[in-house]
Structure 1
Amino acid sequence: MAMLPSEQAPEHRSAVLFELFVHSVVDYAIYMLDVDGRVISWNPGAQRIKGYSEEEILGRHFSVFYPENDIAGGKPAEELLIAAEMGSHEDEGWRLRRGGERFWASTVITALRDENGALVGFGKVTRDLTERLKTREENSGWQQAFAHFVRAQETERRRIAWDVHDDSIQSMIAVSMRLQMLAAQRRDPALMHLDEAIQGAIRRLRLLVAQLRPPALNDDDLVASVRDFLDDVVEGWGLDCTLRHDFTAKPPPDIVVTAFRILQEALVNVRKHANATAVVVSLTSQDGGLLAKVVDNGDGMKTDAETSRDVSSGEHIGMASMRERAEAAQGWFRISSGPGDGTAVAFWIPLGLPGLARR
């Protein structure tokens, strides 16, 4: 009667357990080659991934798993040579299943030597990464599309800013100068009041130009951009500004611009609507992304019953803009507020490949 593994000598028991392990693994192809590269062992994972039964593949050269161009270039032999010289060889690339179907594989070839150091064969482990490659390509395509979208938005903002500055503002300045001359000649208070209204419109347009393309925006450094915007702009609104951060990552320009624009809109809303005296901006690394918050000590927002609308639905154009930017970056946006409690805006956007937004 055969002995159980626990009743066998330690060396033999280890070999039996290892053999059980190899034949229990189905997510990896684990097989051995002789010194010439012919298959001499085959586990169920290899059959599942590559499609060959043990009877079909034993004795065949492992180059059968490589595309024709790799075989013509001598890749299988080169990999064995490197493994023999270096001890092992790792690679990612296209491999073939039975029938010629391609799949993206991660492979490791390990040289096997006896107690005297003589080469006796190779062990090879192959993992099918086709789905991971598809995800990587999809994410890469999404990132390119998102970066293009952000660049297009910023280009349009610059164009509008230039048009407003070089056309609308200059035309209004010319009108204002003429009104001032007429007002001085005729001593007409109505003309002076009209000029004051035009001067006010010019100031608002200049503010719009600054918001469309703020000098503080440096798409290589989010923290510096936010700090400069707080120092150069927000403090000028009479707000006590605090920036708190432990954020040291260097996100790509499209993420920097997206985060800055959301923060900018949130701060402009504080100025327009909050009746606040202080605002705190925080930037934190969390869950592989940026968690940003803008918290003010203002009046807070009225309840839905008082406003007759769902605040969380993003009906307000400023909130809609912030939410759309965050969600376009595969992140999330939320706002919490109550009468007399101030308002807290928070959003999270991933810094790497987009994934499930964490709430």
Structure 2
Amino acid sequence: MRSCTMREHENVDLELLLQSLVDYAIFMLDSGGHVLSWNSGAQRIKGYTAGQIIGRHFSVFYPADDVVSGKPGRGLEIAVAEGRFEDEGWRVREDGTRFWANVVITALRDGDGRLRGFGKVTRDLSERRNVERALDERGRLLAHLVRAQEAERRRIAWDVHDDTIQSMVAVGMRLQLLASTLPAEHADAVTRLNDTVNAAVGRLRNLAFYLHPPGLDSGGLVETLSGYLEQVASGAGLAYDLVPDLDEEPPPEAAITVFRICQEALTNVRKHARASSVRVRLASADHGVHVKVADDGVGFADPGDASARREHFGLIEMRERAEISGGWWQLHSRPGEGSTVEFWVPAVRPGLR
């Protein structure tokens, strides 16, 4: 019995390898584009058996409009000229259904440089494309939700500023006028009432500013956050530092999400941290925005402990905003060492995922 040569062993091993790669359609074409070989992955992805497809022109895998436009032939021409051709697009299975494919065509030449045919590898990317389309749809829904929320905040802020505050200012003016006409024993009570109205007006102005800070519609993320940080820090006697390291302005929904989480984090610093300084750092990372809001305040005994959180519903709101956008959120803190709110949100425009 004749023993197998090394070359025969290599051929057997190569055939075993090709037939085992069921996730890839790997086959050869002659120089005219006709199918010469067929592996199990090609049968699984395209639906043809070897007996059905060998000898047929590979244009059968393309939609009719691509065939009419000459796309299959152009792919071979580019492969001949450049050595390889890569493409993504619709391809057609044996049963007529379409799938989204990545295709690589490689020109095969012998030792003298003569074209002997082509090697073709096809991957079915339908699942990946469906996921990407779902992410795009999720992104559009998120953008719609963020815009709707901001429109409602803007409407409430305008109502508070143009209606409620103006009415209370008018009441305060009438109280001042009334106090000036009353005896001292009654004027003092009216004056105290006027002071209460003025304090309420101040709180309402802060609420309107919180709901819709100036510049949120027209300014960029860094500009808007800088203005808000200056307003909050100066009012609370905080030293502050904003460190922007962004490659580009994030999409509007991402910018608003970042701003709102920072806004809540700064509110917690002002109300609870008893800090003397706060630093906000923005950085582009992993196709998103990575943010740290760090203070030098009293910190938490255990940020994960519900008793330490007490009524800090803002922490839950920050986490939910980040996670709804497809990102993450964390709180780092130790007693006497301050706290750091850290989060990341994606900043990829729809269609580029």
Say whether residues 1:320 and 2:319 are aligned partners. Answer: no
CA deviation vs aligned residue, 1:244-296 (integer Å, no higher than 9, x gap): 45443532111111011111111112112222211222334455433322222
1:125 and 1:339 mapped to 2: Cα distance? 59
Within 5 Å, give how 1:11-50 maps onto structure 2: 21-50=17-46
Confirm or deny: 8 A CA contact 2:29 2:117 kept in the other structure.
yes
Q: Alignment partner of 2:173: what SS? A: helix
Structure 1, 285-294 or 27-36: larger mean CA deviation:
285-294
5 Å matches for 1:21-170? Answer: 21-114=17-110, 118-170=114-166
Q: Which has the larger displacement, 75-84 or 33-42?
A: 75-84
Partner Cα separation in structure 1 for residue 73 and residue 343 of structure 2? 53
Contact map agreement 2:43 2:50 (CA 8 A) in 1: yes
1:30 is paired with a residue of what secondary structure?
strand
1:225 aligns with 2:224: yes
Q: In 2, distance between residues paired with 1:150 and 1:303?
A: 32
1:180 to 176, 182, 185: 176
Letter in 1 for 2:21: V
With over 3 angstroms needed to count, the CA separation of the structure-2 counterparts of 1:353 and 1:159, relative to structure 1, is closer
* Residue 315 to residue 197, structure 1, CA distance change in 2 (3 Å): closer
- Sequence identity percentage: 51
CA distance in 2, matches of 1:288, 1:311: 34
Q: Give me the whole-angstrom Cα distance separating, in 1, the residues matched to 2:271 and 2:311.
A: 17
1:296 aligns with 2:295: yes
Q: Could you tell me which residue of structure 1 aligns to residue 262 of structure 2?
A: 263
CA distance in 2, matches of 1:220, 1:65: 50
- Aligned length, in residue pairs: 345
Q: CA deviation at 1:180?
A: 0.9
| Distance of 2:25 and 2:134 partners within structure 1 | 26
Distance 1:71 1:311 in 2: 67
Q: How far has the Cα of 1:223 moved from its partner?
A: 3.4
| Structure 2 match to 1:191 | 190
Q: CA deviation at 1:36?
A: 2.8
Deviation at 1:232, TM superposition (A): 4.1
Cα distance in 2 for partners of 1:233, 1:122 equals: 67
CA distance in 2, matches of 1:86, 1:332: 44
Question: Is 1:350 equivalent to 2:346 in the alignment?
Answer: yes
Distance 2:311 2:349 in 1: 30
Once residues 137 and 181 of structure 1 are traced to their aligned partners in structure 2, the CA distance between those partners, rounded to angstroms, is: 65
Separation in structure 1 between the aligned mates of residue 302 and residue 111 of structure 2, nearest angstrom: 79
Once the two structures are superposed, what CA deviation does each residue of 1:166-193 show, in whole Å capped at 9, x if it has no partner? 1111111111111111111114111111
1:131–1:196 Cα change, 3 Å? same
Deviation digits for residues 139-188 of structure 1, max 9, x if unmatched?
Answer: 00011111111111111111111111111111111111111111111141
Contact 1:92 1:107 in 2 (8 A): yes
Q: Deviations over 1:85-106 (max 9, x none)?
A: 5544322111122222321111
Letter in 2 for 1:196: D
CA distance in 2, matches of 1:303, 1:93: 53
Letter in 1 for 2:26: I
User: Which blocks of at least 5 consecutive residues in structure 1 are unaligned?
Assistant: 355-359
- Supply the RMSD in Å over aligned alpha carbons: 3.0
Change (3 A) 1:339 1:16: closer
Deviations 1:326-353 (CA, angstroms, capped at 9, x unpaired): 1111222233445544333222223349
TM-score for the superposition, normalised by structure 1: 0.84
Whether contact under 8 Å (2:63, 2:90) holds in the other structure is yes
1:30-81 deviations in Å (ceiling 9; x for gaps):
2122233211122222122212222221111212212233334443334334
| Alpha-carbon offset, residue 243 of structure 1 | 2.8
Letter in 1 for 2:121: V
Q: Secondary structure at the match of 2:55?
A: coil
Distance change in 2, residues 1:117/1:282 (3 Å): same
> Where does residue 243 of structure 1 map in the other structure?
242
1:303 Cα shift? Answer: 6.6
Q: Is the 8 A contact 1:279 1:297 kept in 2?
A: yes
The alpha-carbon distance between structure 1 residues 4 and 101, as it changes in their structure 2 partners (threshold 3 A), is: same
Q: Which residue of 2 aligns with 1:278?
A: 277
